[in-house]
Every structure is written in C-alpha cells, then in structure tokens.
C-alpha cells in the first residue's frame, strides 16, 4: 500500500525518494563512476571523512582513502568486471590526514542496460570508540523517519478533507436516518485519522526559547504524574541544585520529560519507584560538538526493562508494546530534545531502566 502511494503521488518520486534515503541514511555512502571518481557522497560519508561533498566531487577515490596494498582498487575493478557485489568486513582504511579507521565495506555495482556504470560504496565504521557515531545515528534516524512521516502525513491529510466534506454533503442529501449512521461513521473515522496524523507530526510550533530551570520543569511533570489517582508510584528526587538555567521552550521540554516519565511509571504499572536525577557535566561532547556544560537528566525506574527485541527500535514512531500505546511518545521526545541540540539515550535491564536526557548549556569556544 505504501508503494502504491509513493508511485502515484508524482512522476519521478522513486528516484527522488531513493536519493533522499541515501542522503539521510546513517551509513556512509559514495557513488563512484566507471573511472572510480567520486560522483556522489552522502552526509554520513562527509562526516566520516571530514570533507565536504563540494570539494571531493569528481576526485579519484584514492584521494579520499587508501587500503593496504591497493586492495580497494582491485576490489573495485572486480565489481566492474563481475557485476557482483562484494562485502569486506573490518577493512582498515587510511584517510588523507593519515588517520586510520576500521570499516565494513560493501561495493554494489549499479547497472544500466546490463552494464555496470557506477559503484555504490557503503562504509560502516566498526571502530570500538563508537559512542559518537551512535549519537549521530540516533539524531539522523530520528530526522529521517520524521521527514518521511511528514511527507506521508501531508498526503494523508489532503484527501481526508475531501472525504469529510463529501460525507457531510451525503448526509444533507439523504433523508434516510439509517444512512446517517454510516455518514457519521465516516466523519468520526476521518476525524480520528486526522488527529492521529497530527500527533504523529508532533508540534510544528517553532520552539520559543527562554531560560528555564530544569527542576521547575521536572516538578511540573511530577505534579502531573502525582495528580493521577490511578497510580501510587514513588517519585524520588535527586537534584543537583547548582545547575544553571537551560535555554529552551518550556512546553516542549515538559512534553519530552513527561513522555519519558510516563513510560517509566507505566513500566512499573504505577506501583514502582521512579528516580528523577539531575547532574551537570563539564567538557562534554554531544554529537561531535564539545560543550563546556551539559545538563543531564536521568529518569530511572525499577520496572521489567525494555524487551530485548524492541531495544533497537524504541525511538522509531509506532513502536509500542502497549495495547493502548501509539508508540509516538519516545519519537516525539527525541525529536523535541534534538531541536534543543540535545539527545536522549537509555540503558535497560530487568529491574533498572534509565533514560538519560542531555541538554547542552554552553558551547566550547
């Protein structure tokens, strides 16, 4: 159904979609022409090689990286000759600045009329110090899924207006009361779908940033949780009172914190213990930028933990293990915190799940 949707919306959509996916994917990807010159390099590859696409376009691949004993060149020739993809694991490549990295490398021939005209080269870094790229991955993953969602939501919302109007006209034209029931069902379902799409999009409001006290926000969230008579959760505070104000949009930060704290409360079925902890970190690097000060908020619960099979996907929209869950809470929280230059991560095992929210305070000059 999704593919019907994509193909019918406009003529050159598949190519456009393919290049959007390539641009947004978290793996470094390059397209090489027959002479092994760089025809395209995506954002992840620009970061991996610390180069700009403008500078390296048209340059031979050998200018960007070197492999031991010319093995890269021989593999590239092999792909062009045999028209078969090759994956080489844990290859050490030397970058122009002399720095070496370890990557899993996949070379895929791109054929036109049965003849390979280009090679798609995908590099996945497997270095051990991968904390940074994992952070970037979380942010990229989020922005890629959200831009896809925005496109889909737009396409869904347009026909909904027409459907609703047509159902209302039909209701006015017909005298038969029994038929009114059907038109009401159409209108109700259209409205439900519209509301779902709106919540998938999250707030489209631009953040209105001003200095806010993180503890004030946490207390607002705590009072919302505590005002729910249905739960008897024990909320424990461990605040660092020396934390300076963060600059952010109060409503958006409360929304993000509430989504996380609510999950923690739900995980303990409203009966467990949830710890709200704040700390300040000095000289901390977030997604490749070094900050002098970063605020850390930990939300810890003693629930059963995130099911193993969900752990890789919890930040994706529509991922939920709850009967009534929309699966949007974490995706929206991540996107709101990303808009503040921050990041949400978690660790989870049975009995201890910690969601950590990082909010940058001051950029290192």
Query: Candidates 109-117, 153-161, 243-251, 323-331 — which segment interacts with Mg ion by CB under 5 A?
Result: 323-331
Which residue lies nearer to Mg ion by CB, 158 or 311?
311
Residue 329 interacting with Mg ion (CB under 5 A): yes
Residue 145 interacting with Mg ion (CB under 5 A): no
Task: Pick what 294 binds: Mg ion, ligand ATP, none; C-beta below 5 to 8 Å, kind-dependent.
Answer: none
Residues sharing a CB contact under 8 Å with residue 14, sequence separation 6 or more, in sequence order: 6, 7
Cβ 246 vs Cβ 361: under 8 Å: yes
Which residue lies nearer to Mg ion by CB, 64 or 306?
306
Spatial separation of the C-alpha atoms in residues 226 and 234, rounded to whole Å: 9
Residues sharing a CB contact under 8 Å with residue 171, sequence separation 6 or more, in sequence order: 179, 180, 183, 184, 187
Query: Which residues of this chain interact with ligand ATP, rule CB under 6 A?
Result: 259, 263-264, 267, 301, 303, 305-306, 310, 314, 319-322, 325-331, 353
Least distance CB 45 / ligand ATP (angstroms): 30
Residue 211 phi/psi, 5-degree rounding, is -65, 130
Q: Which among 36, 37, 61 is positioned nearest to 49, based on CA atoms?
A: 61
Residue 252 phi/psi, 5-degree rounding, is -70, -40
Cβ 268 vs Cβ 301: under 8 Å: yes
Which residue lies nearer to ligand ATP by CB, 85 or 325?
325
Site string for Mg ion, 235-274 (x = CB under 5 A): ----------------------------x-----------
Least distance CB 197 / Mg ion (angstroms): 18
* Residue whose C-beta lies closest to Mg ion: 329
Q: Is the dihedral of CA 204, 335, 249, 353 positive or negative?
A: positive
Which residue lies nearer to Mg ion by CB, 38 or 357?
357
Least distance CB 168 / Mg ion (angstroms): 34
Least distance CB 202 / Mg ion (angstroms): 13
Least distance CB 99 / ligand ATP (angstroms): 37
Least distance CB 231 / Mg ion (angstroms): 14
Which residue lies nearer to ligand ATP by CB, 177 or 308?
308
Q: Pairing state of beta strands 273-286 and 234-238?
A: parallel
Query: Candidates 76-84, 164-172, 322-330, 343-351 — which segment interacts with Mg ion by CB under 5 A?
Result: 322-330
Which residue lies nearer to ligand ATP by CB, 286 or 330?
330
Which residue lies nearer to ligand ATP by CB, 184 or 226?
226
Least distance CB 209 / ligand ATP (angstroms): 25
Residues near Mg ion, by CB under 5 A:
263, 329
């Amino acid at each position: 159904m999704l593919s019907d949707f994509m193909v019918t919306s406009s003529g050159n959509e598949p190519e456009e979609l393919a290049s959007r996916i390539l641009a947004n994917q978290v793996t470094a990807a390059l397209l090489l022409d027959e002479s092994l010159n760089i025809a395209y390099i995506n954002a992840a590859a620009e970061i991996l090689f610390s180069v700009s696409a403008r500078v390296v376009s048209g340059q031979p691949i050998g200018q960007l990286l070197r492999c031991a004993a010319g093995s890269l060149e021989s593999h590239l020739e092999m792909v062009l000759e045999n028209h078969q993809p090759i994956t080489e694991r844990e290859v050490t490549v030397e970058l122009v600045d002399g720095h070496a990295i370890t990557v899993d490398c996949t070379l895929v021939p791109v054929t036109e009329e049965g003849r390979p005209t280009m090679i798609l080269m995908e590099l996945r870094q497997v270095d051990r110090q991968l904390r940074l790229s994992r952070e970037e991955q979380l942010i990229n993953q989020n922005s890629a899924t959200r831009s896809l969602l925005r496109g889909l939501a737009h396409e869904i919302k347009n026909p909904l207006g027409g459907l609703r109007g047509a159902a209302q006209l039909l209701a006015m034209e017909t005298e038969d009361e029994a038929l009114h029931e059907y038109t009401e069902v159409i209108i109700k379902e259209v409205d439900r779908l519209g509301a779902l799409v709106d919540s998938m999009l999250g707030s489209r409001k631009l953040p209105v940033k001003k200095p806010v006290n993180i503890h004030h926000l946490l207390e607002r969230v705590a009072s919302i949780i505590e005002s729910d008579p249905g739960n008897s959760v024990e909320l424990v505070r461990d605040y660092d009172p020396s934390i300076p104000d963060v600059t952010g949009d109060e409503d958006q930060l409360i929304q993000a914190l509430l989504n996380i704290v609510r999950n923690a409360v739900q995980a303990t079925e409203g009966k467990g213990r949830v710890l709200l902890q704040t700390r300040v970190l000095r000289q901390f690097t977030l997604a490749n930028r070094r900050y002098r000060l970063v605020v850390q908020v930990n939300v810890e619960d003693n629930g059963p933990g995130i099911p193993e099979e969900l752990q890789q996907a919890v930040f994706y929209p529509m991922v939920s293990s709850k009967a009534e869950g929309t699966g949007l809470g974490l995706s929206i929280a991540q996107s709101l915190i990303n808009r503040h230059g921050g990041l949400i991560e978690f660790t989870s095992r049975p009995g201890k799940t910690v969601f950590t929210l990082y909010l940058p305070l001051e950029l290192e000059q």
